[in-house]
Every structure is written in C-alpha cells, then in structure tokens.
Amino acid sequence: MHLDWTALGQVTAVSIGVTVAVVCVFALGVLGLARTDDSREHPDGARALGLTQAALCFLACAAVVAYGIYLIVPQFH
Amino acid sequence: MDHITFLVAVVIVTALAFDFTNGFHDTANAMATSIATGALKPRTAVLVSGMLNIAGAFLSTEVARTISGGIVDDTLVSPAMIFAGLVGAILWNLVTWLAGLPSSSSHALFGGLIGAVWVGAGADGVHFEKVVEKVLIPAVASPVVAGVAALIATYLAYKLTERARKETVTKGFRIGQIASASLVSLAHGTNDAQKTMGVITLTLISAGALGHEAGPPVWVIASAGLAIGLGTYLGGWRIIRTMGKGLTEIQSPQGFAAETASTTVILTSAHLGFALSTTQVASGSILGAGLGRRLAEVRWGVAGRMVAAWLITLPAAALVGGLAASVVKHGGNAGTAVIALVALALATVIVLASRRNPVHANNVNDDQAVTLRTAAPTHVGTAA
C-alpha cells in the first residue's frame, strides 16, 4: 500500500491555513462594521475607518470565494 | 436502443434512485448550520442547495472513468453486480436517514459494490489495500483536519469579535454563511452527481449501448442532476436536525467557520486527488466549531452514534449488496425483479416509519433529537 503522506500533510496545512485566514479576515470585516454602528452617534473618522476596514476585508473574502468557484468549475481551467 | 435490456434499464432507474437518496442525505452537509442559525430559511436553503447541485452536475465534465476508483476489479463488474451494490447503498442510506444519522453516501455505494463483487466474482475481485488507502485513511483524516480547522477558526472568530456588538456580529456572519454554504453545495454537486453519471455511463458501455471512450449522454447528465437536485430540495430534514441542532448549538460565527472549513478541505482534497466523504468532513467541521466556542456543549452521545454509523456503513451496505448479488446471480432476471420489489417494499416501510414522527421544514429547528416515536415507547422498530 502506498500512502502519500506529503499530500496528506499538504491538505492539512492548506485547509487549516486557508480556513483560519478566511474566518479571521471575515471577523475583522465584521468588526469594522460593528465599529461603524458604534460610532453612529458621534460621526467622525472612526466611521469611515470602520467602513474601509470592512470593505477591504469582505473584498479579500470575496476574492477567496471567486478562487473557490474557479477551482470547482472545470471549464475555467 | 435495442442494447438496453431489462437489466440495464433496472440499473439506470436504481442508479437514479441512489442519486436521489444521495441528494437528500447530503443536503445537511451544506445547509444544516445555515438553517440552524437562521442564515437561510429552511425552504430557501434547500432550494438554493438543490439548484446549485443541478448546476454542479452540468459543470462537472470530468465524469468518473471507473465506478469504484480501483476499490474493486472493474473488469469483473457486471450490470447485475452494480444493481445489487446500488440496492445495498440505497437501503443503508434510508436506514441512516430514518435514524437521523449523517453517514457517507459514497461509503454506502462503495460498500454495496464491494459486497456485490465479493459474492458475484469472489474475494479476489475486491482490492482490500485500495479500500484502506482510498476509503479508510481519508475517512479518518478528513473529519479530523476539518474539525481542527473549524476549531481554531471558531476560537479566533470569537476572540476577535468579543468586544463588538453582538447583533452586528451575528448578522455579519449570517450573511457570510450564505456564501460559504452555497460553495459547499456547488462542490457537492460537481462531486456526487458525477458518481451516478459514471455508474450509468459505465453500465451503458458494458451493455454495448455506448462506445468505449464515450462520455455521458446529455440525458444522463440531465437526469442525474435532476435526481440529486430533487433529493436535495426535498431535504433530509431528519439529518439536518441532527447536524444543525443535535451535535451542538450552532451560532452564526461557528456556522461560517464550519462551512469554510468544509469547503477548503473538500476543495484541497479534490485538487490533490483524495477521495473523501462530504458528510464526514461536514460533521467534523461542526464538532470542531462546537468545541471552538467556549462553553459550547458538544453532545458526545450523538457524536458517538454518528461515528458508529460511519464505521458500519461500509460493511452494512456490503452485506445487503452481497445478499442482493447472490439472489441476482442465481435468479437471473426474475431474481433482479424480486430484489427490486423487496427493496421497494423495504423503502416504503422505512418511509412509513418516518411518518410516525416526521421532521420537516417547519419543525426542523424545534428539537435536537430525531426519534421514531412520539408517545411512550412500546418497541423500537428499527435495525439501526
């Protein structure tokens, strides 16, 4: 029996790395949104900053989703 | 179409029936956590999932060239054995559905085929070292990897957002869940619908109705896609309840982490050529997400029963497949008809048994447990 430990290790490392990265970036985006909600009472730079943070983070997640769709759909390869 | 004998027609119908059970068994993988957290309404969730499964079926051009991926000797496989194997897989899928247990449809199919080939062509036809390499190792490794990924991600998600407003966090992750759950569904459609297409195409080739290197005809793609999509749409609510509510209480950050972990494990494995079970990956992710939130309760009793179901899926389906194969082998067309009728009768009994305590779109989130009886127990009428 031949067992490809390298591939198994790769799956493990990539899966954990990508999952943690995506969820953390998304959490940061949500944090940005929460900051926007908090600063609604006293609108200053914090609101714009929070919004920018959220936009950048969600954009990064959308890019990962797009790559995921690219991987799933064989016609793109 | 004079190549389509009675047996071939029966195999095609049975393969589509398996595809259907595959669909409703696996809706939970993609949608259970989204339904549990309220990210999607139950009916919307199964509709989205069903559509994406059909889309996935049409997108996947790379149809399996072998039925089993080398687990059994494909040159020895006859349509009769495929039929017997499918019957084993379908019945096992129905029994686990009745018990609300998420078990692997791929393992059921492999198990059924192994049993049928063992009886039909002898033990030499089964490549046991391949079974270990292609089924057992991924079955152990993939839920663990998905679980660890979901655990770390969940822990960090809660850590990062602990000071933020709770409603914003819940709402944000709910929206994220819609995307992550949809990706799981699409990946599922491209993987699982093509299994059935592979079975039907190879049966048609072995019957001489198609050339040797032929791809699946359009009607095969369409019917396989529709069968799995319809199965997904009708929704295996019993399994959705177990995965969304039974294993642990899921909140939207956990659901997002679990679905992201499932998607990445499925995609990286497929990319590197590992066969794995979507069901086991999704269950592992949900358990990991349950452990990652502090104080979240994981119901180990439910998890234990689920793992037990994983362990017996392959042998149980093999047993039924083997039994069916011996009848078909000795009984010819009459035997095939008998097995088809018996399988139909058993399926009806199981569906009727599920009616005694039905789980559907309107009550899926009301309870954690899937039981067979509503009132005081008199007897338990299931083999599971």
Highest averaged pLDDT of the listed ranges A51-65, B54-68, B190-204: A51-65
Task: Concatenate the DSSP letters of all residues of B311-364 into one string.
Answer: HHHHHHHHHHHHHHHHHHHHHHHHHHHHHHHHHHHHHHHHHHHHHTS---TTTT
Question: pLDDT tier at B128 (50, 70, 90 boundaries)?
Answer: confident
| Confidence tier at A17 by pLDDT (50, 70, 90) | very high
Is the pLDDT at B258 greater than 60? The verdict is yes
Q: What is the overall mean pLDDT for chain A?
A: 85
DSSP A9-77: HHHHHHHHHHHHHHHHHHHHHHHHHHHHHHTTSS-SHHHHHHHHHHHHHHHHHHHHHHHHHHHH-GGG-
Residues of B in contact with A75 (CB under 8 A): 59, 61
A28-37, B6-15, B212-221: lowest mean pLDDT where?
B212-221
Model pLDDT, residue A4: 74
Tokens of B190: 């491209």
In this predicted structure, the answer to whether residue A18 has a pLDDT above a threshold of 60 is yes
The mean-pLDDT minimum among A20-24, B25-29, B62-66 falls in: B62-66
Best probe of the A interface among B151, B166, B197, B264, by most A CBs < 10 A, is: B264
Nearest to A18 among B176, B264, B274 (CB): B264
Asked whether the beta carbons of B311 and B173 are under 8 A apart, the reply is: no
From B109's Cα to the closest Cα of chain A, the distance in A is 22
Query: Does the beta-carbon distance from A19 to B260 stay under 8 Å?
Result: yes
Query: Which ipTM score applies to this complex?
Result: 0.90
> Residue A19 is nearest to which of B150, B165, B187, comparing CB atoms?
B150
Residues of A in contact with B253 (CB under 8 A): 23, 27
pLDDT band at B284 (very low <50, low <70, confident <90, very high): very high
> Averaged over B31-38, what is the pLDDT?
92
How many separate helices (H) and strands (E) can be counted in chain B?
A: 12, 0
| CB atoms A26 and B256 under 8 Å | yes
pLDDT score of B163 more than 90: no
Does A38 score more than 80 pLDDT? no
Record: contact A19-B264, CB cut-off 8 A? yes
Euclidean distance between CA atoms B58 and B49, whole angstroms: 14
A30 chain-B contacts, CB cut-off 8 A: 161, 164, 168-169, 172-173, 176
- Provide the shortest C-alpha distance from residue A7 to chain B (in Å): 7
Rounded Cα–Cα distance for residues B197 and B28 (Å) = 22
Counting residues of chain B whose pLDDT is more than 90, the rounded percentage is 40
Instruction: Find the mean pLDDT for residues B200-221.
Output: 82
Tell me what pLDDT residue B366 has.
80
Instruction: Compute how many other C-beta atoms are within 10 angstroms of the C-beta atom of residue B77.
Output: 23
Predicted pLDDT of residue B67: 64
Residue of A nearest to B180 (CA): A65
Mean pLDDT on B25-48: 91
What is the rounded distance in angstroms from the CA atom of residue B251 to the CA atom of residue B25?
23
CA of A70, closest CA in chain B: separation in Å? Answer: 11
Q: Where are the domains of chain B?
A: 6-136+174-247+314-355
Amino acid symbol at B21: T
**Closest chain A residue by Cα to residue B57:** A73
Q: How far is B322 from chain A (nearest CA, A)?
A: 26
> With a threshold of 0.90, does the pTM exceed it?
no
- Pick from B77, B383, B2, B22: which is nearest to B227 by CA? B22
Closest-CA residue of chain A to B55: A73
* Cα(B17)–Cα(B86) distance, integer angstroms: 9
Question: Which of B97-101, B256-260, B274-278 has the least mean pLDDT?
Answer: B274-278
pLDDT by residue (tens digit) across B349-384?
888 888 888 888 788 888 777 776 554 344 444 433
What confidence score (pLDDT) does residue B373 get?
Answer: 58
Q: For residue B3, what pLDDT is reported?
A: 61
Per-range mean pLDDT, top range of A61-65, B120-124, B204-208, B329-333: A61-65
Of residues B59, B253, B268, nearest to A15 (C-beta): B268
Q: What is the pLDDT of residue B384?
A: 37
pLDDT at B208 over 50: yes
Please report the pLDDT score of residue B333 as a whole number: 85
Could you tell me what percent of chain B has a pLDDT over 70? 92
- What is the average per-residue pLDDT within B182-186? 89
For residue A23, the number of C-alpha atoms closer than 13 Å in the C-beta half-sphere is 35
Tell me how far apart the alpha carbons of residues A29 and A22 are, in angstroms, rounded to a whole number: 10
* pLDDT exceeds 90 at position A70: no
Higher confidence at residue B209 or residue A31? Answer: A31
A·B CB contacts under 8 A: 127
Computed over every residue of chain B, the mean pLDDT equals 86
Contacts of B129 in chain A (CB under 8 A): 1
Contacts of A3 in chain B (CB under 8 A): 133, 137
